[in-house]
Chain A
Amino acid sequence: MKRTCLAALIVILCFVSLEATSSGQSTATYAPENLVGAHRVELAPIQVASLKEASAEEEEAEPIGSLGETVPDPLEPLNRVFFEFNDRLYFWVLKPVATGYKTVVPEEVRVCTRNFFHNLAFPVRFVNNLFQGKFFGAFEETCGFLVNSVIGLGGLADIATAVDLKRHEEDMGQTLAVHGAGPAFYINWPFLGPSTLRDTIGTAGDIFLDPLTYLGDYWYAPYSRGLNVVNETSLRIGDYESLKKAALDPYVALRDAYYQNRLSKIKE
Chain B
Amino acid sequence: MRRKGWIGITLLALWAVCGFDPVWAGVPTEKVKETTDKILAIVSDPALKDPAKEAQRRECIRKAVDELCDWEEMSRRSMGRHWAQRSEQEKKEFVRLFGQLLERTYIDKVESYSGEKVNYLGERVDGDYAEVEVKIVTKKNTEILVLYKLRARDQKWWVYDMVIEGVSLVNNYRTQFTDILAKSSFEGLMKKLREKTAE
Contacts and interface: CB of A to CB of B under 8 A. Distances in A.
Query: Chain B CB within 10 Å — which of A61, A161, A238, A246 has the most?
Result: A246
Contacts of B168: 68, 260
B5 interface: no
A114 interface: yes
Given A70-B175, A248-B180, A249-B180, A34 B121 contact: yes
B120 to A, nearest CB: 4
A116 to B, nearest CB: 12
Interface in A50-102: 50-52, 54-55, 61-65, 67-68, 70
Nearest to B108: A242
Contact of B129 (A44, A54, A261, A264): A54
- Is chain A's binding surface mostly helix, strand, loop or mixed? helix
A64 B140 contact: no
Contact of B176 (A36, A238, A249): A249
Contact of B126 (A27, A48, A238): A48
Nearest to A255: B175
A111 B172 contact: no
B67 interface: no
Contact of A261 (B128, B165, B175): B165
Contacts of B105: 242, 245-246
A154 to B, nearest CB: 16
Interface in B141-188: 141, 143, 149, 163, 165-168, 171-177, 179-180
B187 to A, nearest CB: 14
Interface residues of A, number: 54
A51 to B, nearest CB: 4
Contacts of A48: 124, 126
Interface in A225-261: 235, 238, 242, 245-249, 252-253, 255-257, 260-261
Contacts of A262: 166
B180 A260 contact: no
B126 A55 contact: yes
Interface size range of chain B in the complex? 35 or more
A54 B127 CA distance: 11
B88 interface: no
Interface stretch (B9-17, B38-46, B54-62, B79-87): B79-87
A62 B79 CA distance: 11
B122 A40 contact: yes
Contact of B141 (A61, A114, A246): A114
Interface of B: 29, 33, 76-77, 80-81, 83-84, 101, 104-105, 108-109, 112, 119-124, 126-129, 131, 133, 135, 137, 139-141, 143, 149, 163, 165-168, 171-177, 179-180, 189, 192-193, 196, 199
The 8 closest A-B pairs by CB, nearest first: A264-B166, A68-B171, A40-B122, A246-B105, A256-B175, A51-B126, A64-B80, A30-B120
Interface of A: 25, 27-30, 34-37, 39-40, 43-44, 47-48, 50-52, 54-55, 61-65, 67-68, 70, 107, 111, 114-115, 158, 161, 235, 238, 242, 245-249, 252-253, 255-257, 260-265, 267
